[in-house]
Structure 1
Amino acid sequence: MLISRVLLLTFFMSALLSACGTAPGNFLDTSRLEDKDPTPTTTYPVHLITVDTIAQEQATPEAAQPLPPARFADAAQYVYRIAPQDILGVTLWDHPELTTPQGSTLSTGGNTTQTVAGALQQPYTQALPGQADPYGQTVSANGTIFFPFIGKVRVAGKTTGEVRDEMAAALSPYIKNPQLDVRVLAYRSQKIAVTGEVKQPGPLAISDVPLTLVDAITRSGGTTGEADLQRVRLTRNGKLYVLDANGMLDRGDISQNVMLQAGDILNVPDRYDSRIFVMGEVKTPMPVNMVRGRASIADALTQAGGVLDTDANVRQVYVVRGVRNNPSKPDIYRLDMSQPDSLLLSTQFQLHPQDVVYVGTAGAVQFNRLINQVLPTLQTLFYLKQLTR
């Protein structure tokens, strides 16, 4: 009888030791892993969130992003210069044979044209219907057009006024006091690209009207619900600039409404980089999107369903910041939500993108979880002892 009990005990112990190979479920065999990295021992200071902390945060705004270099100081100095592929119209009074035929179509700055009546009725935010380009003088690749009596006229890099004066002077030997007008019928040479979270992404033509950041977003149909206007990306001459269109619309920071130029790529990103991560003892750990670039601790905890009443330690609500830019030295803040004024402080402490909000675990809960882990082992040993009697 004793031998059978010993054999039975040996069987159970063997099965227990080899549980990783016989028990169902996922597991990782660490026998082939060599982990010699020591556990980090660096300590980080924790800043208690108080009224003074919030005042200091508000008095220290985020570093302003550099703005792209501007070709013109303001919109009043802007002039459009003709370039190859533009289509020009020339009007010479009392000489219809030298005048560009007055067609019924014109260009409004896009890659398409429409009738004059359609241009007046067309909503500013909608794309133009595709039609044929108007008949006129197309600027060749070498920057010239051909005109009777004058021959080739170099127009690239000049304004319509400069071209008008030069052509009038060149026609003076043939026509007495020529009355001449030059205009752009189709702006096809210069454009920008609008991509990302806009309703109508695509190219936009640069015309004689200055095109700004807000104009480009508006002409693209506006933004979608997932757009992050606080971090609009502008690529110019191989360099990336981040513009705060939301700050311009909310706070009137017109410096962000930069004037766009040919070759610019404007990208309106989604809110992926503006997320906040809520972890720990909350009902629904989840990433939280900032709304219009703002979110407080109260916003984050509310969207996560609130703290767990039975498990959370409300005196340990941590905010870990700066991990993305400086992962070796994060800034850590703690909010003691057991205090009467903590609810108000939670609504005033503004979070930054990529912040981590962590709600700690109560000490009694940690003890109970330890007991739940140890209890199955104790039960197994108890039953083994009963079997060996």
Structure 2
Amino acid sequence: MNRYTTRGAQALALLAVVSLTAGCGLPRPGPNKKEIFAGSVLQEGDAFIVTVNPRVTRATAVMPSFGFSDSFRKAGVMGSDTISNGDILSITVYENVRDDPLLGNTGQRVSQLTEVQVDGQGYVFIPYAGRIKAAGNTVEGLRSAISRKLDAQTPDPQVQVARVAGDGSTVTINGSVATPGVFPIEQPTRTLAAMLARAGGVAINPAKALVRVTRGNHTGKIWLKDLWANPQMDIALRPGDRIVIEEDERKFTALGAMGAQTVVPFETETLSAIEAIATVGGLQTAAADPTGVFVFRNEPAAIANAVLGRKDLQGDQRMVYVLDLTAPTGMFEARDFLVRDGDTVYVTEAPYVQWQKTLSVLTGSAGAAASLNSAAGGS
């Protein structure tokens, strides 16, 4: 047989072995492009595979919208000294007599009543003055009422009234805040932003902080940065409001030929596909296929219908969005396409990587065989 023919046959045999080996279970981070496209609805699969373009980007650019309803925003600021049921008051009475004061012991001109609570009907009880209506009154109004009641029994009494933290005109602040607790609504802290400052501010990255306010059966939520940027969202507080600072819990999963394969929390309110890739270290230069960037998502029917130009889909739909970073506008599309909570961002390996792995297996096997033959010949 001709030597060249023999070499050609060997080359063909090697090519066949390479092809066979490449089709076997060599290590890889996930499916290749061909396998992903084989799962398309058009191939009798269960996922819609869509190439990202400006229309698709607009149809899928749906992010959580937070804010406060009119019932929150139109509530007026409380009077700074208005007393409510459940408030705790501190009342101090100064008398102008030494020998026989009405409230204190002999020689004691100052009498202090601490932690006087406004009852459920809005009254407080003051010795020698009786029950006095406090709820709905101002601190100054209650002070005057107590002075009038005592004036008939002790000459020209001087009265001080202060409202302290209690169960009335107070709010609770919990979650990721520097100083959680119960805080009175006072003149400097009658709005949400001021009350948060009173509690020492948030204890997490402000860019990831959400502020939730519950008032009765109604709840509103807003990004902290939007609260700072929009004065209309700095709502007036009401007694009993419950404020919770939450950290954004949205995440996406990064898989494939990227710098890391992990679950990644959102660091900003919005996150584009190119930012998501950069967050985990970018594409692996020696392995990634920039034409095979995929975003896997369960899409609500309304958005899926808009993306596909249909009206018949119902329920969540499996969608696979395809980004080609080598296309003329590919980087722009990846910059504009938004990643959402629960997405999986996957980058396929370049085809030649599998060939390299195959050749490495074959050359390694051939080297091992040669070593065994050499050892056998020398024995």
Same fold, TM exceeding 0.5?
A: yes
Deviations 1:102-146 (A, max 9, x none): 99xxxxxxxxxxxxxxxxxxxxxxxxxxxxxx9445424644121
Residue in 2 aligned with 1:186?
A: 164
Q: CA deviation at 1:94?
A: 7.6
Q: Structure 1's 356 and 48: CA in aligned 2 closer, same or farther, altered over 3 A?
A: same
Residue in 2 aligned with 1:86?
A: 88
Gaps spanning 5+ residues in structure 2: where? Answer: 1-38, 305-314, 369-379
- Are 1:43 and 2:49 an aligned pair? no
Partner residue of 2:238 out of 236, 251, 261:
261
Higher alpha-carbon deviation: 157-166 or 350-359: 157-166
Q: Structure 1's 53 and 79: CA in aligned 2 closer, same or farther, altered over 3 A?
A: farther
Residue in 2 aligned with 1:348?
A: 336
Higher alpha-carbon deviation: 317-326 or 290-299: 317-326
Q: CA deviation at 1:371?
A: 8.1
RMSD: 4.9
- Are 1:146 and 2:134 an aligned pair? no
Identity percentage of aligned residues: 16
Structure-1 separation of matches of 2:84 and 2:146: 15
Structure-2 separation of matches of 1:331 and 1:322: 6
Q: Structure 1's 375 and 240: CA in aligned 2 closer, same or farther, altered over 3 A?
A: farther
Q: Structure 1's 167 and 216: CA in aligned 2 closer, same or farther, altered over 3 A?
A: closer
What TM-score does the superposition give when structure 1 sets the normalisation length? 0.61
Q: Structure 1's 352 and 157: CA in aligned 2 closer, same or farther, altered over 3 A?
A: same
Q: CA deviation at 1:187?
A: 3.4
Contact kept in structure 1, 2:259 and 2:281, CA below 8 Å: yes
**Structure with bigger RCO (C-alpha 8 Å, 6+ apart):** 2
The equivalences for 1:28-107 within 5 A come to: 42-55=45-58, 62-64=64-66, 67=69, 69-70=71-72, 73-75=75-77, 80-84=82-86, 86-89=88-91
- Are 1:283 and 2:248 an aligned pair? no
Which letter maps to 2:52? I
Residue in 2 aligned with 1:217?
A: 196
What TM-score does the superposition give when structure 2 sets the normalisation length? 0.62
Q: Structure 1's 199 and 335: CA in aligned 2 closer, same or farther, altered over 3 A?
A: same
Structure-1 separation of matches of 2:55 and 2:73: 43
Deviations 1:141-197 (A, max 9, x none): 64412154x323232453335434644665687799x89766325333343332332
Residue in 2 aligned with 1:337?
A: 325
Structure-2 separation of matches of 1:197 and 1:52: 39
Q: CA deviation at 1:314?
A: 1.3
Q: Structure 1's 147 and 78: CA in aligned 2 closer, same or farther, altered over 3 A?
A: same
Partner residue of 1:304 out of 277, 280, 286:
280
Which letter maps to 2:240? G
Residue in 2 aligned with 1:27?
A: none
Contact kept in structure 2, 1:197 and 1:227, CA below 8 Å: no
Structure-1 separation of matches of 2:207 and 2:325: 31
Q: Structure 1's 375 and 42: CA in aligned 2 closer, same or farther, altered over 3 A?
A: farther
Q: CA deviation at 1:336?
A: 1.1
Which letter maps to 2:242? I
Q: CA deviation at 1:91?
A: 6.7
Residue in 1 aligned with 2:180?
A: 201
Q: Structure 1's 357 and 135: CA in aligned 2 closer, same or farther, altered over 3 A?
A: farther
Q: CA deviation at 1:282?
A: 0.7
Q: Structure 1's 328 and 144: CA in aligned 2 closer, same or farther, altered over 3 A?
A: same
Q: Between Structure 1 and Structure 2, how many residues are aligned?
A: 313
Partner residue of 1:313 out of 282, 289, 293:
289
Contact kept in structure 1, 2:215 and 2:242, CA below 8 Å: yes
Structure-1 separation of matches of 2:317 and 2:362: 36
Q: CA deviation at 1:230?
A: 4.7
Gaps spanning 5+ residues in structure 1: where? Answer: 1-38, 104-133, 381-389
Q: Structure 1's 98 and 376: CA in aligned 2 closer, same or farther, altered over 3 A?
A: farther
Q: CA deviation at 1:206?
A: 2.7
Q: Structure 1's 153 and 79: CA in aligned 2 closer, same or farther, altered over 3 A?
A: closer
Q: CA deviation at 1:344?
A: 3.2
Contact kept in structure 2, 1:196 and 1:267, CA below 8 Å: yes
Residue in 2 aligned with 1:295?
A: 271
Higher alpha-carbon deviation: 329-338 or 87-96: 87-96
* Secondary structure of the corresponding residue to residue 231 of structure 1: strand
Contact kept in structure 1, 2:82 and 2:135, CA below 8 Å: no
Q: CA deviation at 1:285?
A: 1.6
Structure-2 separation of matches of 1:82 and 1:274: 40
Structure-2 separation of matches of 1:168 and 1:363: 90
* Secondary structure of the corresponding residue to residue 337 of structure 1: coil
* Secondary structure of the corresponding residue to residue 258 of structure 1: coil
Which letter maps to 1:139? V
Deviations 1:235-267 (A, max 9, x none): 4446654322222324x2632x33333333322
Q: CA deviation at 1:299?
A: 1.9
Contact kept in structure 1, 2:251 and 2:266, CA below 8 Å: yes
